[in-house]
Amino acid sequence: MGVGTIGVGWAVVFGTGGCNVRAYDSQPAMLERFLSAVEFRLTKLAEAGLISEDVATVLDRIAVVTSREDVIRGANHVQESVTESVEVKRDLFAWLDEATPPDVTLASSTSTIPSSRFTSGLPGRDRCLVVHPANPPYLLRVAEVVPSEYTSDATTDNAVELLRSVRMSPVVVRNEIEGFVFNRLQGALLREAYFLVGEGVVTPRDLDTLVRDGLGRRWSITGPFATSELNTRGGTARHAEVNGSVYARIGSARGAGDPWIPETIAYVMDEMNEVLPGGDWEANVLRRELAMIKLEGLRHQGDVPSVIVEN
């Protein structure tokens, strides 16, 4: 339900995972572009050696329908990927709860909104939850599974099992909080980035360089906790002893200030318009995905290590 960037990504994930997929969007123009967008990504994945089946075989599992009644017919999992609006999601989930059998999982791709905000009044609220993917999900193969206080254990387990069956890494978020974990981490970094840029400490372009060529490359091998363990002789305990008070002072100094002021936002926008080629947002998103596909293809061939510590 919803075939924007995330809907396209989910179709690739589920289609390459062997699932039969039906897609629907209330905007006909989005549906018209959907299959070609999926085919293009599948073709690039095949060229990079990241899928073993023929593109045509995967595409045969993915169909477009023109009514929401058709998209849910016979489904055992519904993945909603519509606009980030509580009201829109509340209306859609109310309809889904009434229109689907009670054993169908109803999942939202929302990146920040707890599902209880739009499902708490539903008779079938126990089968509703958030399944929030990283973007694009077919390359960053991790998803947060966020049950609300109403979600049954069986619903959570079914979502986890489905994700694992299509080669995703599910992370169950134990408390339903706004922004979940992925975006809270991302937001913490971005908040400090806006402060540093707004204070004239660094330019947006140079800050992106530090993260892209430094933190980002290291975090693709080890997460922040493993990085702390390996950065200081003596491991996590010594790292906390040496740096903990510094980070605490930095956090206290920032307080609850808001760095998202118009002047800083305009400054960042101006630099990003210089850094990113052209002015077409969708084209730039696609360039990013193609670069990620190429990198993942190298990993798949064994040229780039994916991890040095496995869970």
Query: Residue 277's pLDDT is what?
Result: 77
Query: Residue 304's pLDDT is what?
Result: 54
CA distance 11 to 74: 17
CA distance 155 to 164: 14
Query: Residue 311's pLDDT is what?
Result: 45
Report residue 179: phi and psi, to 5°: 85, -15
CA distance 273 to 102: 48
| Extended beta strands in 14-120, E state | 21-23, 62-64, 77-80, 105-108
Count of positions (residues) in the chain: 311
- DSSP states along 100-146: S-TTSEEEE--SS--THHHHTT-TTGGGEEEEEE-SSTTTS-EEEEE
Query: Residue 260's pLDDT is what?
Result: 92
- Amino acid sitting at position 239: H
Count Cβ atoms within 10 A of the Cβ of residue 208 and give its class: 0-12 exposed, 13-18 middle, 19 or more buried: middle
Query: Residue 134's pLDDT is what?
Result: 96
CA distance 139 to 50: 10
Query: Residue 106's pLDDT is what?
Result: 98
* Residue owning tokens 């169909």: 63
Query: Residue 309's pLDDT is what?
Result: 47
Can you give the pLDDT of all 311 residues of the chain as single tens digits? 999 999 999 999 999 999 999 999 999 999 999 999 999 999 999 999 999 899 999 999 999 999 999 999 999 999 999 999 999 999 999 999 999 999 999 999 999 999 999 999 999 999 999 999 999 999 999 999 999 999 999 999 999 999 999 999 999 999 999 999 999 999 999 999 999 999 999 999 999 999 999 999 999 888 899 889 988 899 999 999 999 999 999 989 888 889 999 999 999 999 998 888 777 888 888 889 999 998 888 877 765 554 454 54
Q: What pTM was computed for the model?
A: 0.91
Please list, in sequence order, all residues whose beta carbon lies within 8 angstroms of the beta carbon of residue 231, skipping any fewer than 6 positions away. 239
Conformational region of residue 260, where left means phi above 0, alpha means psi within -120 to 50, and beta covers everything else: beta
